[in-house]
Amino acid sequence: MQQRTPIVDYLVLDGDPHLVASECEQCGARYFDRRNACAACGAAGGFRQVAIDRQGELRAFTIVSMAAPGIDVPFVAGVVDCGGTTVRANVVNTPPDPDHVRLGMKLRLATFPLGTDSAGTEAVGFGFEPLEQS
């Protein structure tokens, strides 16, 4: 089977694809990137990995029409509340217009291939798609 790699290390592809966060063992603040200590409480005691809900609600979005060369526009960038953890992602599998993308809409995680590199490894990206196709 072809080797696959997630676009970021907080996307887990095994089984049901899902996102994971590092949670501060002292205060419970969650991070998607590597932190030296907790920005919320200052504790350097350590972090544990926690799985993030695969469904969420769209709290904010923009439809980007002007971006750097190489980025396909328009696309929908959004902020998704996944059971209390805020996630940044594109909203995918829906037309990028304000008639189809609405604040508060229910979404679920979706993954898709980004391409295969010269070593034959496929990178996998993620976004959130409408739970109910309108």
Partner 1 sequence: MADTVWILGITMTKFGKHPDADTVDLAAEAALGALADGGVTIEDVDVLAAGNLLGAGAGIGQQLQKQIGQTGIPVYNVANACATGATALRTAVMAIKAGEADVGLAVGVEKLAGAGLLAGGTRAGDSDTWQPRGRYGAVAALDGRVGTETMPGVFAQVGMQYLHEHRYGGTPLELFARISEKNHAHSTLNPLAAYTKAMSLEQIMGDLMIAYPNTRPMCSANCDGAAAAVVVSDATLKTLSREQQRRAVKISASVLTSDPWQEGCQVLPDVNTLTRSAARQAYEQAGVGPDDLDLVELHDCFATAELVHYDNLGLCEEGGAVDFLESGAPYRDGRMPVNVSGGLQSKGHPIAATGIANIWEVCHHLRGEAGPRQIEGARVGLAHVIGLGSACGVHILERSAA
- Tokens representing 86 are 């805020």
By CB under 8 A, the residues from 19 to 58 that bind partner 1 are 29-34, 39-40
In this complex, which beta carbon is closest to partner 1, that of residue 33 or of residue 132? 33
The amino acid at 36: N
CA distance 108 to 117: 28
Among 66, 99, 133, 134, binds partner 1 (CB under 8 A): 66
Give the residue from 1, 15, 2 showing the smallest Cα distance to 123.
Answer: 2
- Strand bridging mode 122-130 / 4-6: parallel
CA distance 11 to 52: 10
- Whose tokens are 């971006």? That residue is 67
Number of residues that bind partner 1 (CB under 8 A): 52
Binding mask 68-107 for partner 1 (x = CB under 8 A): xxxxxxxx-xxx----xxxxxxx-------x----xx---
CA distance 116 to 121: 5
Residue 7 contacts partner 1 per CB under 8 A = yes
- In the complex, the smallest distance separating the C-beta of residue 26 from partner 1, rounded to whole angstroms, is 13
CB 101 within 8 A of CB 64: no
- In the complex, the smallest distance separating the C-beta of residue 101 from partner 1, rounded to whole angstroms, is 9
In this complex, which beta carbon is closest to partner 1, that of residue 51 or of residue 73? 73
The site for partner 1 (CB under 8 A) is made up of: 5-10, 29-34, 39-40, 59-75, 77-79, 84-90, 98, 103-104, 114, 117-119, 121, 123, 125-126
